[in-house]
Amino acid sequence: MSRHGRDHATPPHLVNYRANIWALHKLGVRKILATAAVGSLSSNFRSGELVLLDQFLDFTKSRPSTFYDGGQQGVLHVDMTEPYCSALRQDIMDAAEQIGIAVNNGACYVCTEGPRFETPAEIRMFQRLGADLVGMTSVPEVVLARELGMCYASIGMVTNEAAGISSHPLTHAEVMESMKELGVKVAQLIQATFELEDPSQNCLCASANGEVGKF
């Protein structure tokens, strides 16, 4: 599923994240393996590398971020101690080892509103808060998946260094070119991961919405 639609026509702050996740839920999907173009804020992650996210900071502003808006729907204070499913992440790491692809397991992702890139001052702030990578799409996607009891993992594709770190101005074209180069490798990793998967959820993701008991 392409978040931004055909020809990248939908900006990140206008993606209908709730509709996308709900559609997958109605199809019976239990596990989501997402990809995301990310900029690096850390010397630990270089352009062209793959990284599994394990924590996030949310700096989005205007996106509906829950299926539970009160009223008859009620309210769910969903636990996000482990936002990205560790069991699914381990399956990805096992698949990566089998096919010989290097993947870094664990990074803190900061999600910004977009569609503009961040300022150097913002990047310095995010670094001080502990962020390793920056992007515009993982939140609220990961939260919505958890609300519906779905496992969610995200492969970050490091496409560039963030503003103030890179030696040149950031462009969308640079990001898209890097994604094209990483695309074949990521497709192989996703296929190998699927071959290891089974329908069971050996984690706590499926019980995250137990207190409301609706899904």
Residue 204 lies in a domain: no
Residue 215 lies in a domain: no
pTM: 0.89
- DSSP character for 179? H
Give the C-alpha separation, 44 to 127, whole Å: 12
Residue-wise pLDDT tens digits, 70-81: 887 778 899 999
**What is the chain's mean pLDDT, rounded?**
90
| Amino acid sitting at position 57 | L
Task: Give the chain's domain count.
Answer: 1
Residue 1 lies in a domain: no
Residue 207 lies in a domain: no
Per the structure, the complete domain to which residue 101 belongs is given by: 6-198
Give the C-alpha separation, 56 to 138, whole Å: 8
Q: Could you tell me the two tokens for 190?
A: 């996703």
Residue 203 lies in a domain: no
Q: What are phi and psi of 150, to 5 degrees?
A: -105, 140
User: The domain that contains 62 carries what CATH number?
Assistant: 3.40.50.1580
pLDDT beyond 70 at 111: yes
Give the C-alpha separation, 51 to 105, whole Å: 6
Residue 211 lies in a domain: no
Please tell me which residue, 174 or 20, carries the higher pLDDT value.
20
- DSSP character for 117? P
Give the C-alpha separation, 176 to 61, whole Å: 25
Residue 128 lies in a domain: yes
Residue 173 lies in a domain: yes
